[in-house]
Structures are given as structure tokens and as C-alpha cells.
């Protein structure tokens, strides 16, 4: 199928890729289009069809989103690799990297000088210290037992309601559009620390509300010149020794960015319409809370709780009585329930949360580093950690998973860092979102510098939708 033929079919079926077609014509609609399609999709090895063009549209959109970025590089293989800009994740992990360093690296492409780091830190901390009375009122209106993410989403919208001048449609200023505002880049760079600070305040104040701590617009305990994450932990009412502060910084680094994830795509989809970053972040967080995305961190915890509950059932069935505090560091106690879980997963009746990754076929390079972070914590009396260790041991040795190349990912262990700091499982994703906000802001800046078109994927009709006879349908 030659490029000319493809263009003819596109015109015939009225599929339009206005700027995308023009910008990537050399790579997608050039002389090697036929080979390009056939190498990437089994469907396209057949004769030209609507299915082939559906695949073509998918690949074109993928190229539009993924192929041109300098921020991140993740690769498959027996040993996965991950890079932020020009630095491998292991290199950054071994350095004394703080939030300000990784944010500056992702956004501006280099590790900051002392002055650059201090300047960025001051802007982030200034955002933490802003009075957010509207946000606090909204947070306080929620039941304390409400899922934290529901409160955070509302809190960010409340923050935005008090900042209408930052919302293009509300202020009638297309602030972030390269074609309308010559100072768009200044607007974006000013919004980045403001948005990240608002997210951190929403997360911290939500935790305080859920933990029956007081929420206050006055925060005198924060250090204007101190590390950003140090101030965030103070807002969370955590008193961390230096080694745990470093463990938190390392964890945030591992979560800082991970390519064109579903939530990141949602974020860029929103800003392609020239929306503001806080609204786009709300959309991305809502998407990221999905069970097979960022919400997997909570699903892991639910899986471990299920193994614990099943173990207790097995012990009752067998008449096993445990006097006093159950013995921890006893892998045998959990093995039967873990093996039941593994067999259910192999039969397709359940899912093994914390294992497998669409990017890494040979193992998530962050997972082993996350386990190294956990060395700074004492989990000797934590049943969930013991169960997770047993799940990893049994699943990693199982031929079924080994044949499929399914290995543990960062979700299996990442949550234990936040729990080890004294936070409840419901706060795992919110804290991880503070980390991932760095990558979203960096991608926003990079994306808008290309003056992108609004995302508007087209659809192809595959035929009439079968009608339903509602008179015979039981409701």
C-alpha cells in the first residue's frame, strides 16, 4: 500500500489528520509507508482495509505523542533501562538527588546549579505557604472517611476557583498558547511550581483532615529555604530522621516520570485544548486512579489483605490457634493462601497485582531500587510486608510467570515506603502523584513549545449498532 494510496483512502473516508499529517509526512506518509505499516501490525500485512487504516491512525497518533521527547527513555529487554534526560535512573539514584533537582532536570534539561536550585525551591515553598482558605473549606466539608483521592480532586478545583486569572477561558486570555501569547513560556514556567505546590497542599491537608488533625491556613512551621519535600512532610505532620527523608527523596525520584502513561496522555490531551495545568492535572489524577493504572498501588494492598484474611480462614478450618501476637517472619504461615492466589491468577480468575509491566518485559528497573529504599525501614512486625515477600518468592519461581516474562514492578514495593513513614495505604497514590507531577509539568512545557494542535482523533464507523428491543428487555 503506497503512501499515495493511503492518502486517497484517507480522503475517501474523510479521516483528517491536519497538522499531524503535515508534521510527520516524512516518517509516516513517505516512500516507506508500506514497510512501516507491515513491520508494525499483523493487520496491515493483509490487503488495504478499514482495519488497516484504523491501525494507521493509531500509529500516527502514537508517533504524534511519543516519538519526539527528550524527557524520558524506557526500553524493553531482559534488563529494563530507564533514563531521565541524559541520566540513567541508577546514576541519579546513587546521587544525593532532591525533588528540586529532579524537577529542574526534567523541565529544563540539566541538573541545577546551587543558585538555580535555591530559586526553584523558593518558588515551590512560596506556593506551600500561600493561604488556601477555599481549598481548606472544601476539604473540611468531606466526611473524614472519604477516599483521599476524591477529596484531593475537589480540593484542586477549589484552588483553581480562587485563581481564575490562571484559567484561559475564565480570564479570556489564551495564556499558554504559543500562537496567541509571545510570553507563553514565561506563563508556563511560572505556573509549574505554583501547580506542584497546590497539589502538595491538597494532598497534605487531605491527610490531615482524614487523620483528624487540624487543617490551618497558617503554616509557620515551614522553612522557606528548606527542601520542598521536607516542608511537605511537615504539612503531613511527619517527623522524619535524615535517613528516612533520603528514602522519601529516592522514592519520589523513582516515580518522577514514566513516559506516555494513560494519565500523562490525559494531561496532554487537556492542555492541547489550551487548558490550565491544574484542571489538566485533575483530569490526569482521575484517570490515574484507575485500578490498572496508579490505582494499582491500592489494589496491591487489597490483594495482600486478601491473602491475610484467607490465611486466617485456613487456620480456623484447620483448628490452628495462635496465642498472643502472631509470629511474623514466618513465610510458611502465608504460603498456602499465596499459592491459592497464584493458581487463581493462572486460571484467569484473579489478577496478580504488582507484577508485569507494559513497558518492561524483563523486569521493572525501579522495583529493585525500591526494595533497596525499604532497607531503611523496619518491617519486622508488618504482616503485609511478609506476605508481599512470599508473593514475590512464589510468583518469581513459578514457570507460568517465568515463561511469560512477568516480573515484579514498582507497585509491589512502592507503597511500603509511604506506609513505613506512617501514612495509611489510601495515601500511597496521592504521595506518588506529587512525584509524577514533575514529569507532567516537564511534558507540558516541552509539548507547548511545539505549538501542538488540539487532540481530536477521528473515528471510523464499523457498521450499524444492533438495535435493542426494549419491550422485551428486563430492567
Q: Which residues are marked as active site?
A: 357, 411
Chain centroid, CA 223 distance in Å: 28
CA neighbours closer than 13 Å in the CB half-sphere of residue 234: 17
Asked if residue 121 lies in contact with residue 109, where contact means CB atoms within 8 angstroms, the answer is: no
Tell which residue, 281, 299, 304, 303, has the closest CA to residue 428.
Answer: 299
Asked if residue 314 lies in contact with residue 341, where contact means CB atoms within 8 angstroms, the answer is: no
In the structure grid, which three cell numbers stand for residue 150, read together?
A: 476524591
CA atoms of 97 and 254, how far apart (whole Å):
11
Does residue 385 come out as left (phi exceeding 0), alpha (psi in the -120 to 50 range) or beta?
Answer: alpha
Tell which residue, 434, 430, 437, 384, has the closest CA to residue 146.
Answer: 430
- Alpha-helical (H) ranges within 133-241 are 133-140, 148-161, 168-171, 184-210, 228-235
3-state helix, strand, coil in the chain (%, to 5): 60, 5, 35
Chain centroid, CA 225 distance in Å: 28
Question: Where would I find the beta strands (DSSP E) of 359-472?
Answer: none
Counted residue by residue, the chain has a size of 475
Amino acid at each position: 500500500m503506497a503512501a499515495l494510496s493511503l492518502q486517497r483512502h484517507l480522503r475517501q473516508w474523510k479521516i483528517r489528520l491536519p497538522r499531524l499529517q503535515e508534521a510527520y509526512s516524512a516518517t509516516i506518509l513517505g516512500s516507506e509507508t508500506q514497510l512501516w505499516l507491515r513491520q508494525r501490525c499483523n493487520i496491515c500485512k493483509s490487503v488495504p482495509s478499514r482495519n488497516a487504516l484504523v491501525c494507521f491512525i493509531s500509529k500516527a497518533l502514537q508517533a504524534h505523542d511519543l516519538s519526539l521527547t527528550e524527557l524520558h527513555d524506557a526500553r524493553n529487554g531482559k534488563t529494563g533501562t530507564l533514563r531521565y534526560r541524559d541520566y540513567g535512573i541508577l546514576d541519579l539514584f546513587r546521587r544525593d538527588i532532591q525533588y528540586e533537582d529532579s524537577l529542574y532536570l526534567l523541565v529544563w534539561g540539566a541538573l541545577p546549579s546551587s543558585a538555580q536550585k535555591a530559586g526553584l525551591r523558593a518558588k515551590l515553598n512560596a506556593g506551600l505557604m500561600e493561604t488556601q482558605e477555599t481549598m481548606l473549606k472544601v476539604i473540611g466539608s468531606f466526611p473524614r472517611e472519604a477516599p483521599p483521592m476524591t477529596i484531593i480532586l475537589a480540593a484542586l478545583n477549589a484552588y483553581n476557583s480562587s485563581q481564575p486569572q490562571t484559567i484561559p477561558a475564565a480570564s479570556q486570555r489564551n495564556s499558554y498558547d504559543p500562537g496567541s501569547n509571545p510570553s507563553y513560556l514565561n506563563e508556563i514556567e511560572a505556573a509549574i511550581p505554583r501547580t506542584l505546590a497546590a497539589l502538595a497542599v491538597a494532598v497534605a491537608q487531605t491527610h490531615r483532615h482524614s487523620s483528624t488533625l487540624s487543617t490551618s491556613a497558617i503554616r509557620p512551621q515551614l522553612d522557606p529555604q528548606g527542601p520542598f519535600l521536607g516542608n511537605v512532610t511537615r504539612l503531613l505532620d511527619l517527623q522524619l530522621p535524615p535517613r528516612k527523608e533520603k528514602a522519601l527523596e529516592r522514592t519520589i525520584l523513582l516515580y518522577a516520570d514514566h513516559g506516555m502513561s494513560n494519565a500523562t496522555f490525559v494531561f496532554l490531551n487537556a492542555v492541547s485544548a489550551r487548558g490550565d495545568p491544574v484542571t489538566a492535572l485533575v483530569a490526569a489524577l482521575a484517570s490515574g486512579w484507575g485500578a490498572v493504572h496508579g490505582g494499582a498501588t491500592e489494589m496491591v494492598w487489597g490483594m495482600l489483605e486478601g491473602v491475610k484474611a484467607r490465611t486466617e480462614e485456613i487456620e480456623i478450618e484447620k483448628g490452628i490457634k495462635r496465642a498472643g501476637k502472631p509470629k511474623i517472619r514466618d513465610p510458611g504461615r502465608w504460603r498456602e493462601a499465596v499459592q491459592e492466589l497464584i493458581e487463581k491468577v493462572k486460571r484467569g480468575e484473579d489478577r496478580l497485582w504488582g507484577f508485569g509491566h507494559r513497558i518492561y518485559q524483563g523486569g521493572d528497573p525501579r522495583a529493585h531500587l525500591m526494595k533497596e529504599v525499604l532497607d531503611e525501614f523496619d518491617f519486622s512486625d508488618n504482616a503485609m510486608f511478609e506476605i508481599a515477600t512470599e508473593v514475590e518468592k512464589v510468583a518469581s519461581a513459578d514457570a507460568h510467570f517465568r515463561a511469560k516474562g512477568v516480573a515484579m514492578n514498582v507497585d509491589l514495593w512502592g507503597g511500603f515506603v509511604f506506609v513505613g513513614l506512617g501514612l495509611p495505604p489510601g495515601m500511597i497514590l496521592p504521595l506518588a502523584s506529587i512525584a509524577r507531577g514533575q514529569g507532567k509539568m516537564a511534558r507540558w512545557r516541552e509539548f507547548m513549545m511545539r505549538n501542538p494542535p488540539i487532540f481530536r482523533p477521528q473515528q471510523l464507523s464499523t457498521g450499524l449498532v444492533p438495535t435493542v428491543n426494549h419491550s422485551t428487555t428486563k430492567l
